[in-house]
Amino acid sequence: MNYNRAIEIFKQSATYNLSLLLLKQAQDFFETLGEMGLRTVQVFKLIFFDITKKEMNWKLVIEQCSRFAVDSLPITLSIVGMCSIIISMQVAPEMVKQGGEKFVGMLMGVVMTRELGAIMSGFAIISMIGSAYASEIATMRVTEQIDALKVLKVNPIDYLFVPRVVAGFIMMPIIVIIASTFGLICGGIAAYLSAHISRLNYISSLWQGLYIKDISVALGKSACFGAAIALISCTCGYLAYGGAKGVGLSTTKAVVWSFVAICIIDYIFATIFFF
């Protein structure tokens, strides 16, 4: 009797509840990771190895390309431009004090091309497009629209995942090119206003710091970013349950997982090409 009473007291303790919470979070983590791996295999199989599929639904792909790039471009340019201005305003005066005004453009080129353009663009896309993908598919899941697609013999992975993943893979490098160019222009203006670095000096220094390797790595990395954001967001939405609360939780999970995935992919590319 005393033993049972001790068990009941332990189950009411904070240690027991915290342990249950950690176990639940760990289980949810591995389940989500496994589902993402499964959806990745299914998407790649449908794109490259499904001989029964007639052709890609390019109408859906073009529609998602428009959403991925055109609709998100203003917020992406705003974030990248402001980050570039902030960095240039802090770096340029200090470089001038040390006699390194000829290297401000080179520094901004390296920072923007290698990291800032792709990372900040990815964060903007996650906040606007990734969350939208997750909430849309989660709403379809909890309202049984995905079950209706299955009844109509429409593959949900082919109809919902593939166009979004292909659009992300295609359009993310284009977004990064535009955003990085805009960021370099904003950085040059900020360098002139904060440290009186001339336009000719900034541009000549900028060309010295740009390399084909940096640009090609940034484009490859950004393509992986776009595909990962779309795939993770769609997967988290696809796993939603529990009504409106489940939609909110799946959207939050999609944003968090996408941020983590971008950091991991960026680390892998940096290790392979620049370590």
Q: Of 208, 191, 219, which Cα lies nearest the Cα of 91?
A: 191
Expressed as residue numbers, the domain containing 151 is 56-274
Is 47 domain-assigned? no
When pLDDT is cut at 50, 70 and 90, the band that residue 154 belongs to is confident
pTM for this predicted structure: 0.87
Is 42 domain-assigned? no
Is 38 domain-assigned? no
Query: What pLDDT is attached to residue 217?
Result: 92
Is 173 domain-assigned? yes
Does residue 197 sit in helix, strand or coil? coil
Tens of pLDDT, residues 208-220: 878 888 899 999 9
% of the chain with per-residue pLDDT over 70: 95
Structural domains in the chain (count): 1
Is 37 domain-assigned? no
Is 2 domain-assigned? no
Query: What pLDDT is attached to residue 166?
Result: 93
- Whether the CB-CB separation of 236 and 254 falls below 8 Å is answered with yes
Query: What pLDDT is attached to residue 201?
Result: 87
Query: What pLDDT is attached to residue 25?
Result: 76
Which tokens in the block code for residue 216?
């090609």
Contacts of 88 (CB under 8 A, 6+ apart): 104, 108, 186, 187, 188, 190, 191, 194
- Whether the CB-CB separation of 203 and 148 falls below 8 Å is answered with no
Which tokens in the block code for residue 14?
């904070």
- The answer, yes or no, to whether residue 19 has pLDDT greater than 60, is yes
When pLDDT is cut at 50, 70 and 90, the band that residue 21 belongs to is confident
Kindly report which listed range (1-5, 139-143, 154-158, 247-251) carries the lowest average pLDDT score: 1-5
- The answer, yes or no, to whether residue 177 has pLDDT greater than 90, is yes
Query: What pLDDT is attached to residue 27?
Result: 81
- The answer, yes or no, to whether residue 10 has pLDDT greater than 90, is no
Is 18 domain-assigned? no
Is 23 domain-assigned? no
Residue of 242 and 157 predicted with greater confidence: 157
- The answer, yes or no, to whether residue 65 has pLDDT greater than 70, is yes
Over range 25-48, report the average pLDDT: 84
Distance CA 172, CA 35 (A): 24
Q: What is the DSSP letter of 102?
A: G
Kindly report which listed range (45-59, 64-78, 132-146) carries the lowest average pLDDT score: 45-59
Residue of 47 and 250 predicted with greater confidence: 250
% of the chain with per-residue pLDDT over 90: 44
Phi, psi at residue 225, to the nearest 5°?
A: -60, -50
